[in-house]
């Protein structure tokens, strides 16, 4: 299925959380002859060795697919400060609201700085995430960044998640065992 961006735009700025979640999305965007830049911004991931492992896999796949890659800053202390008091929140709770918004607001800002009007995220493809929660954070981020539009495409439809798992196996992606933050690692 060929993807069509809102307003017939031809380029997409894609926030990615990891290679397993983004592999199928990257391939679908490229198969649709759209221009793509990948943005890796995940200050929630802990420890830093885990962050670097996930980033390395995304970089490797982007190089293989000849996709532009922008590296966001890793500032876990900022993430800790923004989620302070939410440590005991359940997965899909208020901490995730803050985390998604923080990451997608930065995505919108960097998209605009790099002359992209449309941005999206791979966060919503995972069955472990609340897609509507992710989409609400993206919509809020776009509202706070005039000139951008969050594309709330349902990456799960048309067997997106299953195809992503097949790509992960084919590419031998590193498979993480938790969402990313130290609080989620204790619950998985």
Q: Give phi and psi for 13, each to the nearest 5.
A: -105, 115
Residue 180 has pLDDT above 80, yes or no: yes
**Span 36-75, pLDDT tens digits:** 999 999 999 999 999 999 999 999 999 999 999 999 999 9
Task: Give the model's pLDDT for residue 59.
Answer: 98
Its pTM stands at: 0.95
Cα 31 to Cα 1: distance, rounded to the nearest angstrom: 9
Nearby residues of 124 by Cβ (< 8 Å), 6 or more positions away: 131, 134, 135, 152, 154, 155, 156
Task: Give the model's pLDDT for residue 95.
Answer: 97
Cα 14 to Cα 28: distance, rounded to the nearest angstrom: 12
Cα 152 to Cα 181: distance, rounded to the nearest angstrom: 24
Residue 172 has pLDDT above 90, yes or no: yes
**Span 106-147, pLDDT tens digits:** 999 999 999 999 999 999 988 789 999 999 999 999 999 999
Task: Give the model's pLDDT for residue 188.
Answer: 44
Q: Give phi and psi for 166, each to the nearest 5.
A: -65, -40
Nearest to residue 12, comparing CAs of 68, 72, 74, 73?
Answer: 68
CATH architecture of the domain covering 9-185? 3-Layer(aba) Sandwich (3.40)
Q: Decide if 171 contacts 19 (C-beta within 8 A).
A: yes
Q: What are the sequence ranges of the domains in the chain?
A: 9-185
């Amino acid at each position: 299925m060929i993807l069509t961006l809102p307003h017939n735009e031809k380029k997409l700025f894609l926030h990615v959380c990891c290679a397993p979640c983004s592999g199928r999305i990257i391939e679908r965007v490229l198969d649709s002859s759209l221009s793509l830049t990948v943005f890796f911004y995940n200050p929630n991931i802990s420890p830093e060795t885990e962050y670097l492992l996930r980033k390395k896999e995304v970089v490797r796949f982007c190089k293989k697919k000849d996709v532009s890659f922008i590296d966001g800053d890793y500032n876990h202390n900022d993430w800790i400060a923004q989620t302070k008091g939410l440590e005991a929140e359940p997965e899909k709770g208020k901490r995730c609201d803050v985390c998604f918004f923080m990451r997608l607001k930065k995505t919108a800002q960097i998209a605009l700085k790099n002359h992209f009007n449309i941005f999206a995220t791979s966060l919503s493809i995972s069955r472990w995430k609340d897609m509507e929660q992710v989409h609400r954070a993206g919509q809020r981020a776009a509202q706070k960044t005039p000139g951008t539009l969050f594309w709330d495409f349902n990456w799960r439809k048309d067997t997106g998640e299953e195809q992503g798992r097949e790509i992960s196996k084919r590419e031998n992606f590193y498979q993480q065992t938790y969402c990313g933050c130290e609080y989620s690692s204790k619950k998985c």
